[in-house]
Chains A and B, each alone.
Chain A
Amino acid sequence: MARKLASEDLTPVAGGGLLHRRLFLKAGLVLATAQTATSLRAEEVAATTPRAKPEDPADPSWIHKPGLPFTGYGTPSKYEKHVVRNIGGNRTPQGDGVSWTPLEELEGIVTPSGLHFERHHDGVPDIDPAVHRLVIHGLVQRPLEFTVANLLRYPMRSRFLFIECGGNSNAGWHEEPIQRPAGSFHGLVSCSEWTGVPLSLLLDEAGVDPKASWVIAEGADAGLLNVSLPLSKLMDDAMVGLYQNGERVRPENGYPLRLIVPGWEGITNVKWLRRLHVTDAPAMTRNETAKYTELLPSGKARMFTFVMDAKSLITSPSPGQKMHGANVYEIRGLAWSGRGKISKVEVSADGGKSWAEAELQDPVMSQCFTRFRSPWAWDGKAALLKSRATDETGYVQPERDVLIKERGREGYFHYNAIVCWAVDEDGTISHVYA
């Protein structure tokens, strides 16, 4: 049973009605949540579709007849069919583009594998694992070839890790705030449990030459995507990912194997990995020169910006959702950092004038999504919601004007500024720069 709100529970700890982060745990309150765009749509449909005989929740028809048969591989409920990746503007050719994870529809920290974001340059290759090989050559004592079957026999490790495209959130550089659901703006990031073979085992087996300092990684997609990576990072914590969320990596995520480079931009997590060329210099491939570099106002450009800096985002309430009027709400969101664990997330309801610390939900893991929650007594007046992440290195997510002052607006990649959602008096939510 929900306890009645005591007046001291509702004493705000920051402007705009933000309450103490522990309030939920303490009081077990029943909260209002912003209605998702989907539930809004469902209501509309329900209102306009006449039903022969309405189901009685106390005695629905499905408790009186056998259910559906077993299935070899389950799928989401038919009532959740709308929770899909938003496929971004396909150009010519069709296989070049992105699909966004619908972050605003999801909870917890794991992204279902089928909703993991995609960035393909020329489609998803249909790879026969019996034919696929991983080759390690270059500055090594023993150039080697591995079959997938053999890779599956090495000792493995599992880690929960986010993978974020270096171009995620790039609409933030635009002059006008883009109006889209949170996931279709920031959803080129997803989080999975990745299981695979530590790459250091395979590099050791090949016997890396002391002169080596770089590795060129190549995928087996049409176009053989290639990038250069410092050997030290690959020896440190990279792995050859074979499983994602317990099952073999899906085709669109790199089946049969994907290079997993914790905390580093998505492009370095090479899908369909087939070749590692150990060498003493970067190859200066197109994806580390023309792309994934950030032009600064000085005319110089940042290059090899591998680490994804701390970022956070409120997923509820967020654009496309609607508030139910003045009430106590749970603000929900995600934070992550390529440099380690999230140490703090603060939430503001007055556009950043004052901040309240959000509750970080366990587990909090390095280079992984962290779910945060914060109780908010919305008074029904216009409000500006923001979240601000701090990671264990002390790095604090910057305000947009600070980021733009430092980087200009031509960088395109690595946009990680604080995001602001405006809540209107009528309960609608939009994206604003404030």
Chain B
Amino acid sequence: MSMLRCVAALMIAVSVASLAVAEEDTRVKGHIDGAHGSAAVEPAASANMRLGTPLTSDDIAKWDRTIFPDGRGLPPGRGSAKEGRVIYEQKCARCHGEHGEGGTSEELVSGPTPPSPDNPSKAIGSYWPYATTIFDFVRRSMPPAAPGSLSADETYAVTAYLLAANAIIPESAEMNAETLAAVRMPNRDGFIWIDVKK
């Protein structure tokens, strides 16, 4: 670290010297014929290397889309499996199959039992350790033609539909920030951390 800081300080010295010449207009005019692109010489990061602009909590709220398994980050909203089925049929079935059995894209439905040599399924019901992951992935990535287009309510609904189709929650259950985080997936304990300690 301190090495890098030294280097940074040095770089400033160098770039200040060249700045005296470069000043404002550092556009390099092309040689012989025709101008090339702009090439402003920027000063190196300052001595304490603070080029980041501080963010307010309002700014962060616009960026932060992380959802944790304990439910942190889940937005307000709600949806039921029944509502979700309608959305699924309209927006998802084309690629994932009428009942989530898979099509041009992954199967989304399997029995609610952890994988075994006879049934090495990695679909939601048998493999996924956390239900919050469904909400997170669908909200940010699906459907591929318009990722981020589902509202929070729609995402809760389609998540509820997928959980019910995998026989993990009853058809009648409603998903919201609390109930979703409380869902215990059958394969929750099915993973061994390899390159990092728990």
Contact = CB atoms under 8 A, between A and B. Distances in A.
Interface in A165-222: 198, 200-202, 204-206, 216, 218, 222
A154 B45 contact: yes
A224 B195 contact: no
A305 B148 CA distance: 29
A93 B145 contact: yes
B44 A299 contact: no
Contacts of A326: none
B27 interface: no
Contacts of A84: none
Interface stretch (A281-289, A349-357, A425-433): A281-289
Interface in B19-68: 42-45, 49-55, 59-60, 63-68
A147 B54 CA distance: 12
Interface in B53-86: 53-55, 59-60, 63-70
B167 interface: no
A142 interface: yes
Contacts of B124: 290
A121 to B, nearest CB: 7
Interface residues of B, number: 59
Contact of B137 (A136, A143, A281, A285): A285
B31 to A, nearest CB: 12
Contacts of A382: none
Contacts of B67: 283
Contacts of A137: 55, 60, 63-64
A403 to B, nearest CB: 15
Contacts of A297: 117
B133 A301 contact: no
B120 A224 contact: no
Contact of A145 (B59, B95, B141): B59
Given A95-B144, A144-B55, A305 B195 contact: yes
A149 interface: yes
Contacts of A144: 52-55
A95 B132 CA distance: 25
B63 A299 contact: no
A338 to B, nearest CB: 10
A230 B196 CA distance: 7
B43 A153 contact: yes
Interface in A395-434: 408, 410
B4 interface: yes
A303 interface: yes
A222 B69 CA distance: 23
Contacts of B140: 223-224, 226
A105 interface: no
B161 to A, nearest CB: 17
A299 B195 contact: no
B114 interface: yes
Given A92-B105, A155-B8, A286 B196 contact: no
B42 A303 contact: no
Contacts of A91: 104-105
Contacts of A147: 53
Given A92-B105, A155-B4, A204-B1, A302 B136 contact: no
Given A153-B44, A206-B52, A223-B141, A286 B133 contact: yes
B194 A302 contact: yes
Interface string A283-324: 111100110010101011111111100000000000000000
Nearest to A216: B66
Interface in B169-198: 190-196
B192 A302 contact: yes
B129 A284 contact: yes
A121 B141 contact: yes
A334 to B, nearest CB: 23
Nearest to B15: A153
Contacts of B49: 154, 201, 205
Contacts of A93: 144-145
A332 interface: no
A284 B196 CA distance: 14
Interface string A244-279: 000000000000000000000000000000010101
Given A277-B64, A289-B130, A122 B8 contact: no
A198 B141 contact: no
Given A145-B53, A223-B140, A290 B128 contact: yes
Interface string B135-161: 011001110110110000000000000
A350 B43 CA distance: 60
Interface string B101-120: 00011000000001111001
A325 B12 CA distance: 62
A135 B63 contact: yes
B95 A300 contact: no
A-B CB proximity, top 4 nearest: A144-B52, A223-B141, A286-B137, A303-B191
22 contacts: A96-B105, A122-B144, A145-B59, A152-B42, A153-B42, A153-B43, A153-B44, A155-B44, A205-B50, A223-B144, A223-B147, A226-B65, A283-B68, A284-B69, A284-B129, A284-B132, A285-B136, A286-B133, A290-B122, A290-B124, A301-B115, A301-B127
